[in-house]
């Protein structure tokens, strides 16, 4: 990793880090929320689902703004709003109030990730973008590994609301530090200065862009809905400890980080599409293995079986994450900000829907979750051949 590459990746990571904490730091609190806020398990899962829903909507809003306005100003105001929303979440006294405030927090959190793809795409050719994306993904992946440990510690000492106070402080510090970083300027808009609806319509009609980005979103959703459901399944349903969940998540993330850092070299050697397909196959195998254990060997269910069956899922996302992003952005034309926003909208929107659809069935176990993961992985894999079929005038891979 050269110093220049790292310094280019760093501001992108800082912009997205605060929003990532809003989920990962808070996950250990999910099993106890029904008791402390007079709610139920479904309501606790909805605090995750509504965050993803408004986070997804924010991708479209901020993605469109990124093509027209100063990105530093956008991120500064978004971080300020996120900090205020986090403080309000810490003061929530009912589950319904927390769900509403999480919706506000999710929208404010979306700016950093909406602008990240545009910033990375402007770095240069696919090879550079793959490496940058892998670096940023690896840096971001450290947070889901560390945040639940920190969150569990904060909750044990200061209660569930302390996780939100921590988010508040981190967002404020990030907002101040962000002012000292230099970001690429937004590219000049098209000569006809299309509005947001026109830009998004053009992207929706771009067959190859949509094929890659929807396939990527489905693969991402498969892993996310598993991670979101795991605290409840392991702690409440199966009776294991929060430590078991943290250890499982750390293992999966470590596997993702290792493979993601190899993705750039693998792309150089085998080709970007081949690496993407390899990742998709790994994830399909993972989904089938998880479903087999859930249906055929229920006595095996626990931290070990969860980790082993979902390990190929994390490895697969490591293979295809950076390459899939870079390949989709190859076919977005000049609308890099809007394309990044649309990609995140699709991924987070699917995650919100998936988390919410699975939530009512978790009380009965992991069957619905396993079926959902298999379906998501299968559709993701099926979409790839059509996305890889070239059109006349396509950019050179």
| DSSP collapsed to 3 states, 54-78 | HHHHHHHHHHHHHCCCCHHHHHHHH
Backbone φ and ψ of 157, nearest 5°: -95, -40
Residue 267 maps to which CATH number?
1.20.1250.20
Give this prediction's pTM.
0.76
- Count Cα atoms within 13 angstroms, Cβ side, for 58: 26
The three-point CA angle 122-342-47 to 5° equals 120
The per-residue pLDDT for range 172-201, each reduced to its tens digit, is: 877 776 666 555 555 555 555 567 677 778
Q: Who wins on pLDDT, 141 or 258?
A: 258
Q: Are 359 and 42 in contact (CB under 8 A)?
A: yes
Domain that holds residue 218: 11-182+195-388
Q: Who wins on pLDDT, 235 or 3?
A: 235
CA-based end-to-end distance of the chain: 23
| DSSP class of 241 | -
Look at residue 158 and tell me if it is in a domain: yes
What is the token pair recorded at 307? 């980790």
Look at residue 252 and tell me if it is in a domain: yes
Lowest mean pLDDT among 44-58, 111-125, 372-386: 111-125
Q: What is the mean pLDDT of the chain?
A: 81
Look at residue 188 and tell me if it is in a domain: no
The per-residue pLDDT for range 110-148, each reduced to its tens digit, is: 887 776 655 555 554 455 555 555 555 555 556 666 777
Look at residue 21 and tell me if it is in a domain: yes
User: How many Å apart are CA 45 and CA 3, to the nearest integer?
Assistant: 41
Look at residue 187 and tell me if it is in a domain: no
Q: Are 66 and 112 in contact (CB under 8 A)?
A: no
Q: Mean pLDDT, to the nearest integer, of 218-238?
A: 89
What is the token pair recorded at 339? 């394309």
The number of beta carbons lying within 10 Å of the beta carbon of residue 192 is 7
pLDDT at residue 11 in the model: 56
Look at residue 98 and tell me if it is in a domain: yes
The count of structural domains within the chain is 1
| DSSP collapsed to 3 states, 142-180 | HHHHHHHHHHHHHHHHHCCCHHHHHHHHHHHHHHHHHCC
Look at residue 6 and tell me if it is in a domain: no
Look at residue 239 and tell me if it is in a domain: yes
């Amino acid at each position: 990793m050269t110093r220049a590459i790292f310094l280019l990746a760093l501001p992108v990571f800082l912009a997205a880090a605060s929003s990532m904490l809003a989920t990962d730091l808070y996950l250990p609190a999910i099993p106890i929320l029904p008791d402390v806020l007079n709610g139920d398990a479904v309501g606790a899962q909805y605090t995750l689902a509504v965050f993803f829903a408004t986070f997804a909507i924010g991708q479209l809003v901020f993605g469109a703004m990124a093509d027209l306005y100063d990105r530093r100003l956008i991120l500064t105001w978004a971080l300020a709003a996120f900090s205020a929303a986090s403080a309000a979440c810490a003061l929530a006294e009912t589950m319904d109030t927390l769900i509403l405030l999480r919706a506000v927090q999710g929208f404010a959190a979306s700016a950093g990730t909406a602008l990240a793809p545009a910033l990375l795409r402007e770095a240069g050719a696919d090879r550079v973008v793959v490496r940058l994306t892998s670096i940023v993904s690896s840096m971001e992946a450290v947070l889901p590994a560390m945040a639940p440990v920190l969150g569990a510690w904060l909750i044990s000492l200061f209660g569930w609301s302390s996780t939100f106070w921590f988010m508040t402080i981190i967002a404020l510090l990030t907002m101040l530090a962000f002012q000292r970083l230099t970001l690429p300027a937004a590219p000049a808009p098209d000569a006809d200065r299309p509005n947001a609806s026109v830009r998004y319509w053009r992207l929706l009609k771009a067959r190859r862009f949509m094929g890659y980005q929807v396939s990527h979103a489905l693969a991402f959703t498969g892993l996310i809905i598993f991670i979101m459901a795991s605290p409840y399944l392991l702690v409440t349903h199966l009776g294991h400890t929060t430590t078991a969940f943290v250890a499982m998540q750390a293992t999966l993330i470590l596997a993702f980080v290792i493979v993601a850092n190899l993705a750039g070299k693998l792309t150089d050697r085998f080709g970007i599409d081949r690496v993407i397909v390899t990742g998709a196959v790994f994830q399909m195998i993972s989904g089938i293995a998880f479903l087999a254990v859930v249906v055929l060997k229920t006595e095996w269910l626990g931290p070990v079986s969860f980790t082993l069956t979902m390990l190929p899922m994390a490895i697969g996302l490591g293979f295809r994450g950076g390459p899939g992003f870079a390949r989709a952005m190859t076919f977005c034309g000049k609308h890099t900000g809007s394309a990044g926003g649309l990609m995140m909208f699709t991924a987070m929107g699917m995650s919100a829907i998936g988390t919410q659809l699975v939530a009512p069935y978790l009380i009965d176990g992991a069957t619905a979750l396993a079926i959902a993961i298999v379906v998501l992985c299968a559709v993701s894999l099926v979409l790839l051949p059509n996305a890889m079929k070239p059109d006349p005038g396509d950019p050179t891979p």
